[in-house]
A = this chain, B = another copy of it.
């Protein structure tokens, strides 16, 4: 029951050719600059194109050329400030390249992720950027057999797959060391989901910083979060309920830190006067919380740009260059010297 009574059928290259009184191949040549064409025909064709408002059918082009000029982006959550920043980098990286991106979400689920990648492959994307993927390296390599893939969060260096990995352990380490330098010794850690590798690496960094300072790691000070505000809030709440003493909390990511901050607010505890707080990620909003959040800056935007460049290199068979900048601590206003 398709109702198309008002819909103008798009003009084709053939229409243009007829209108301009030339052959389709000539129009194609002008469109692609494939060969020299006489001035007269060129203007005629260009006039026809303009007048008919013609634009080549990209599906036909893609089918013919074997390149869709599309790249697939796999995120885990389509509405998360974390992926947003990276997507912005991808978007900028694609600017002027003629490529368009199609974004799909794996919803933090390996099975769904695989399905989505297969979908992208069926749509003939020319390459894939996988962000925070859940699938194994082996699976990535398998898919890379069909199309080049650039992935975050893993080390990969084959001809069709490359990975960029952030040093989570180090990031957590500098965060906690900052707290220690400020005189804190009872530092709580709101972790991420236990199955999450990033989260575990951050826990390792937390542990190392403590050990280096000869501070015993108290398991009671480590509480599980979920990388979201709700988890952070609950985690700290739990800390209070179990009567833990602490002067600072390091949250495994900024979202968790927001939740922690709210919990503290509700209890009438001042940040940073009573308790210091450090996050991880440096989301765009983190410089505008009240107070602005001290956090480990992850170069999200750059990751997007660099991953995009790398993918374009893979697609064009060029040598991949560049790496992501290191993590750095951004000291803002949620941390202070312990009194």
Contacts and interface: CB of A to CB of B under 8 A. Distances in A.
B265 A288 contact: no
A56 interface: yes
> What number of copies of this chain does the assembly contain?
2
A300 to B, nearest CB: 9
A229 interface: yes
A29 interface: no
Contacts of A6: 144-145, 158-160
Interface string A38-77: 0000000000000000011111101100001010000000
A33 to B, nearest CB: 18
Contact of A63 (B63, B84, B144, B288): B63
A217 interface: no
B285 A123 contact: no
A290 to B, nearest CB: 4
A57 B124 contact: yes
Nearest to A98: B119
A183 interface: no
Interface string A145-158: 11100000000001
B288 A59 contact: no
Nearest to A79: B84
Given A63-B59, A146-B8, A290 B288 contact: no
B84 A88 contact: no
Contact of A1 (B2, B57, B316): B316
Contacts of A258: 285, 288-289
A10 interface: yes
B59 A68 contact: yes
Given A70-B102, A78-B91, 12 more contacts: A7-B145, A57-B63, A60-B63, A79-B284, A81-B81, A81-B84, A91-B105, A100-B119, A102-B103, A262-B288, A262-B289, A285-B285
Interface of A: 1-3, 5-8, 10, 55-60, 62-63, 68, 70, 78-81, 84-85, 87-88, 91, 100-105, 118-119, 121-124, 144-147, 158-160, 229, 233, 258-259, 261-262, 264-265, 284-285, 288-292, 315-318
